[in-house]
Amino acid sequence: MSVRAPERESLMASAAPAQPAVTIAGLTKEFSTRRGTVAALGGVSLQVATGEVLGLVGPSGCGKSTLLEIVAGLQEPSAGQVAVEGRPASADRLAACVLMPQRDLLLPWRSALDNAGLALELGGVGRRGARRRAAALFERFGLGEFAAARPDELSGGMRQRVAFARTLLAARPVLLLDEPFASLDAITRAELQEWTGEALAAEPRAVLLVTHDIEEALYLGDRVLVLSPRPGRVRMELPGARGAAGPRSETVTSAEFSRLRARALEALA
């Protein structure tokens, strides 16, 4: 980590004059249903810089996933501004973001390796080139021996790693993670959180991490925003523990971490 740190700083410095990777201002979203209009987001404003991980926690149904889909260019806001790398058009947002959903959504007819290389193939890289680049990442992720496995032969944790490899190989400046570990058991989740922290440290990207797990947001995030119940708006900002030295088990049991968690819980209540 100490070797990598200056490199990251220089990358961030070179990006500094530009605008933040993600800018959201006064964003609202309403859905019309048979029973009338439902406000999902009630005026959210936030920014995410390149190299930063922003955690978003909030109660179920507060519009977190909707927010990510709007940033990703899959939905349009009802009002307010959203821009990715300074561009507001949905096609530009779609091109600059990659969304990792809660379910791994691996294609059952593709091997683990070919699932990971999907974005490369969609970008015009041949099957062989995609496999070569995915294989390099698989080695780093400890997935090497599972390259040829079909998704239904993998455990939940393995599948999520493959999904994460697929997300990273899309090579977009903005990563949108929507409860990426929610479907995993507690032990696997803790393991993958630690592992994700390391994987994200290697690459200077803007990351928006949506979760209902306060500990996850505080552990992985540089900053954490606590959202209110629907219609969601930012209720509180907390510093995260990202980059803390030592193993995860020490970080999340420190007094400082406990204090932050208590404050977040209070804000959620």
What phi and psi values does residue 247 have, to the nearest 5 degrees?
-70, 160
The residue within the footprint of another protein, chosen from 54, 99, 207, 224 (CB under 8 A), is 99
Q: Exactly one of 13, 18, 89, 122 binds another protein (CB under 8 A); which one?
A: 122
Minimum distance of another protein from residue 150's CB (angstroms)? 6
The full 3-state SS of 179-234, as one line of letters, equals: CCCCCCCHHHHHHHHHHHHHHHHCCCCEEEEEECCHHHHHHHCCEEEEECCCCECE
- In order of 23, 70, 205, 223, the CA distances from 43 in angstroms are 13, 13, 25, 19
Residue from 70, 118, 168, 260 binding another protein (CB under 8 A): 118
Phi and psi dihedrals of 17, rounded to 5? -65, -25
Q: Between 161 and 233, whose beta carbon lies closer to another protein? A: 161
> Site for another protein (CB under 8 A): which residue of 6, 108, 246, 247?
108
* Segment near another protein (CB under 8 A); pick from 3-11, 102-110, 129-137, 240-248: 102-110
Nearer to another protein (CB atom), residue 64 or residue 233 = 64
- 235's CB contacts (< 8 A; 6+ apart) are 226, 227, 228, 267
Closest CB 108 distance from another protein, rounded Å? 4
CB 71, min distance to another protein, A: 10
CA angle at residue 48 from 92 to 207, to 5 degrees?
80
Eight-state DSSP code of residue 147: T
Contact 57/240 with Cβ under 8 angstroms?
A: no
Question: Which 58-77 residues touch another protein, going by CB under 8 A?
Answer: 69, 72-74
Stretch of 101-109, 134-142, 205-213, 256-264 lying at the interface with another protein (CB under 8 A)? 101-109
DSSP-assigned states of every residue in 6-25: HHHHHHHHHHTTSPPSEEEE
Among 18, 89, 105, 136, binds another protein (CB under 8 A): 105
Rule CB under 8 A: is residue 129 a binding residue for another protein? Answer: no
Amino acid at 237: E
| 83: contact with another protein by CB under 8 A | no
Q: Which of 44, 119, 190, 214 binds another protein (CB under 8 A)?
A: 119
Neighbours of 191 (CB within 10 A): 15
Residue 103 near another protein by CB under 8 A:
yes
* DSSP helix/strand/coil, 128: helix
Interaction site with another protein (CB under 8 A): 69, 72-74, 94-95, 97-99, 101, 103, 105, 107-109, 118-119, 121-123, 150, 152, 166, 170, 176
